[in-house]
Copies of this chain bind each other. A is one copy, B any other.
Amino acid sequence: MCELLGMSANVPTDICFSFTGLMQRGGGTGPHRDGWGIAFYEGKGCRTFHDPGPSVNSEIARLVQRHPIKSHIVISHIRQANVGQVCLENTHPFSRELWGRHWTYAHNGQLTAEVFSWPVDTYQPVGTTDSEQAFCWLLGQIRRQFPQPPADEMQQQRLNDLIRQCCDQLRGLGVFNMMLSDAERLYVYCTTKLHWITRRAPFGQAVLSDADLSVDFGTETTPNDVVTMIATMPLTTNEVWQPLHVGELLVFRLGLIEAHLGRQE
C-alpha cells in the first residue's frame, strides 16, 4: 500500500506542514520506502518532484519540506511497490496533457493484471505499473468522450459521472484509491482508505501524528482562506477528519466540495 496526500485551496497555500508528516511515513514511521513524488499546480503551470528513494532520506524531500511552494492544488504519493520495479518511471504522480492542461494522477492500491489488457491509445504508459496503465486508460476515456473541456455545468456533471464510472470499473480490479487533477479541480476516489478535512476561519492549531510538530494556522492564513487536505490516513491527532466511503468520488474546487458522487448510505 502507498500513501496519498492532496490539497485543494482557494488561495495559493504551501503544504510544508502536512508534507513533513507524510514524508515520515516514507521509511520512517511507515513502510513506504520505494519512492515518492509531488505535483504542485500554480495556475495552469505544474511542477513535479520525483525521487525513487525513500522519502525520509531524500534531500529533495527535505527541500520540499523547507521551501514553501504556494499552490492551489497538490497531489503527493509515497510508494510501497507491489507491481513494477522501483525506478523513476514507476514513481507517482504521473502526468499527461489533455485540452492544453497538465493532468496529474496518483494511485494507492493494487489492480489485477487484467488492467494491462484494457485499451490505451493516445496515452501510453512509460513504466510498468498497474497504476500508470490505469491512468492512461482513464485519460483516454475522458479524451474520447470529451475532446474539448466541458463548456458548462451540465457537461461538467457528465464528466464527473464518466470519471466515477471509470473509477468504479477500475475498482472491479482491486483497490483503487485515486487523486486526479486537471489544474482546475481535484478528483478524489475511494475504495478503502481516504480522509479529508476542510480548514477555514477561525483557524486553530494542528498537531502532526508522525513528527513532533504543530502549527498554528491562525498565524499563517487570512480569514477568507479555505484549504482542504485529503490523505490516506489522518495526518493530525487533534482534528476530526472525515472518511470517504467505498465508491465515493469527491470533486474539490478552490478548497470546497463542488460535487459529491456515489455516496452509499
* Interface residues of A, Cβ cutoff 8 Å to B: 42-52, 59-60, 63, 67, 87-91, 95-97, 99-102, 122-127
Interface of A is mostly: mixed
Partner of A89, one of B45, B87, B90, B99: B45
Which 3 pairs across A and B sit closest by C-beta, in order of nearness?
A45-B88, A45-B89, A100-B124
9 contacts between A and B (CB under 8 A): A42-B88, A45-B52, A45-B90, A45-B91, A46-B89, A95-B95, A97-B124, A100-B125, A101-B126
Chain B residues with Cβ below 8 Å from A127 are 44-45
Partner of A44, one of B43, B44, B89, B122: B89
Q: Give CA–CA (A219, B109) in the complex, Å.
A: 45
Residue of B nearest to A37 (CB): B47
Partner of A59, one of B47, B67, B126: B67
Query: Does the CB pair B48–A59 fall under 8 Å?
Result: no
Query: Does the CB pair A46–B88 fall under 8 Å?
Result: yes
Query: Quick one: copies of this chain in the complex?
Result: 2
Q: A44-B88, A45-B87 are in contact. List 12 more A-B contacts (CB 8 A).
A: A42-B52, A44-B126, A45-B52, A45-B91, A45-B126, A45-B127, A47-B49, A60-B67, A63-B63, A95-B95, A97-B124, A100-B125
Q: Give CA–CA (A100, B120) in the complex, Å.
A: 11
Query: Does the CB pair A87–B43 fall under 8 Å?
Result: yes
Query: Does the CB pair A43–B88 fall under 8 Å?
Result: yes
Query: Does the CB pair B49–A49 fall under 8 Å?
Result: yes
Chain B residues with Cβ below 8 Å from A126 are 44-45, 97, 100-102
